[in-house]
Amino acid sequence: MELAAVKAMPLVLVLPPRLSALPDPVDLTDLADEAWILPTQISGFPGLLELAEQLWRSAGARPASIRSVSTLQTAVPLIAAGMGISLMPRSITDIAGTRVEVRNSLQPVAPLHAVMVWSRQLPPSPVLELFLGVAQRTYTGEL
């Protein structure tokens, strides 16, 4: 299996409208009583749950509860309904619009990285090689 990073995605806190009065950035200790809604962990593939764990450790706070969902898109209506908060790529605002509040974290949070994965067993076609080259140059800013 081959792996290549293609995009760093900055992460933000996604909050229900009832928390609209919170400042930007938000201190995680102010969210200690909130339930978190995060995608289910995929074994062997680090993702948002691991980044959230790092964030909680840096804040010295653990959430009241963690609810699992299959996708980030599933979490958005739950957050809008006031059922919890989440950590998501900033681009989620393209989907969520004004249904949720978006805040930066006072504690530093590492970005999530989008990656491409392809098989080593199959030689890449010329089109795949071209695509991989463009994607990797875009990620490194070489275009």
Task: Tell whether 129 is covered by a domain.
Answer: no
What CA–CA distance (Å, rounded) separates 13 from 71? 16
Task: Tell whether 25 is covered by a domain.
Answer: yes
Q: Is 41 helix (H, G, I), strand (E, B) or coil?
A: coil
Reported residue count of the chain is 143
- Reference 11, options 140, 110, 139, 115; nearest CA is 110
Q: Which two tokens stand for residue 22?
A: 């919170």
Residue 76: which domain range? 9-114
Task: Tell whether 40 is covered by a domain.
Answer: yes
Task: Tell whether 88 is covered by a domain.
Answer: yes
Query: Tens digit of pLDDT for each residue in 79-132?
Result: 999 999 999 998 887 877 788 999 999 999 888 887 778 788 888 889 988 887
Task: Tell whether 28 is covered by a domain.
Answer: yes
Task: Tell whether 143 is covered by a domain.
Answer: no
Task: Tell whether 21 is covered by a domain.
Answer: yes
Query: Tens digit of pLDDT for each residue in 48-78?
Result: 888 888 888 888 888 889 999 988 888 999 9
- Tell me whether residue 43 is exposed, middle or buried, using C-beta atoms within 10 angstroms of its C-beta: 0 to 12, 13 to 18, 19 or more: exposed
What CA–CA distance (Å, rounded) separates 26 from 120? 43
89, amino acid identity: P
Q: What is the DSSP letter of 3?
A: E
How many domains are contained in the chain?
1
Q: What's the pTM value of the predicted model, to 2 decimals?
A: 0.80
Task: Tell whether 74 is covered by a domain.
Answer: yes
Q: Which CATH number covers residue 37?
A: 3.40.190.10
What CA–CA distance (Å, rounded) separates 18 from 1? 45
